[in-house]
Chain A
Amino acid sequence: MVLSRTIRISSHSHSAEGITYECQGPGALLSLPHSGHREDVIRPKVFQEYIRDNVVSWFDWSQRNGLGVERMEDLILVTGCTLVTSWAAVAFLGRIGTAEISLVQTPDRSETSFEFNNIRGNVTQHCSSFDSVCFPCYI
């Protein structure tokens, strides 16, 4: 079941809970209300050799099928990933100056809804929706 995204961006937060984050210059934040699962191959060198042997044919195939791979080096072979169920991501975009954002988390069983409040500066944020799948926050 997929429910609607619960992000609300308001000029005033009515909750006294949560955390306000301040950042000087560019920065980033990933907030995880629940633990995730990390899996990595133990022998990545084998994957490196496999890429070397196959990447030219993969790139040719992507070009023939009109996919969005612009350069051969854009192709990724996943050797590990981190899966989580709820996440909030923030990018502080300003090159200079200070930016601030407030983040309130509302837990609901295994998932969490988030409420953002941009206070000042150039900040972009978004979060997971209520969904039953796991999201990779890192690959």
Chain B
Amino acid sequence: MPVDQPWNVYREQLSSLYHGYALWEPDPVKGLYDKVSIGDVGYVNNGFFYRLFNVTLPWDDPSNNKLGELGYYKPLDLGRFLTTHEARFDKGDYNTPNVAGQENIGNTLARTPRE
């Protein structure tokens, strides 16, 4: 896969901020899942996350069998292991160090693009 596809550039560049795997297409796949959750197993293709199933749920949970019938597996024990740390993720810009922003007020460059 060419490295300079936008989803690859985006992921690779933002990985330097250590916030995780940056998804170029973060919208959930409609009809497949509502939002990404801890315990999801999936893969990323072209910037989309494709959820296959969730290992905190039983193997025969309906949401785990939308893409094919899973065999039995032992779910992760939520009581012992799924202690989570929750925090606010601040609004603002998350960018690589070589990206610089400037307010457009009085900035004629921003309003008169070069052709």
Contact = CB atoms under 8 A, between A and B. Distances in A.
B39 to A, nearest CB: 6
Interface in A34-51: 34-43, 46-47, 50
Given A21-B99, A39-B84, A81 B52 contact: no
A42 B85 CA distance: 6
Given A28-B9, A65-B68, A91-B9, A136 B38 contact: no
Interface string B80-92: 0111111111111
A74 B50 CA distance: 11
Nearest to A43: B81
Interface string B15-53: 000011111101110000011111111111100011010
Nearest to A122: B4
Interface residues of B, number: 71
Contacts of B71: 57, 61
Interface in B41-71: 41-45, 49-50, 52, 55, 67-68, 70-71
A24 B100 CA distance: 9
B104 A102 contact: yes
A119 B23 contact: no
A89 B10 contact: yes
Given A35-B88, A78-B39, A133 B28 contact: yes
A14 to B, nearest CB: 8
* A interface, size bucket: 35 or more
Contacts of A102: 104, 110-111, 113
B101 interface: yes
A6 to B, nearest CB: 14
A10 B54 CA distance: 42
Given A30-B22, A78-B42, A137-B26, 13 more contacts: A23-B98, A26-B4, A28-B95, A50-B55, A58-B41, A62-B43, A67-B50, A67-B67, A77-B40, A78-B41, A95-B4, A117-B110, A120-B113
Interface of A: 11-43, 46-47, 50, 54, 57-58, 61-62, 64-65, 67-69, 74-84, 87, 89, 91-93, 95, 100, 102, 104, 117-120, 124, 128-129, 131, 133-139
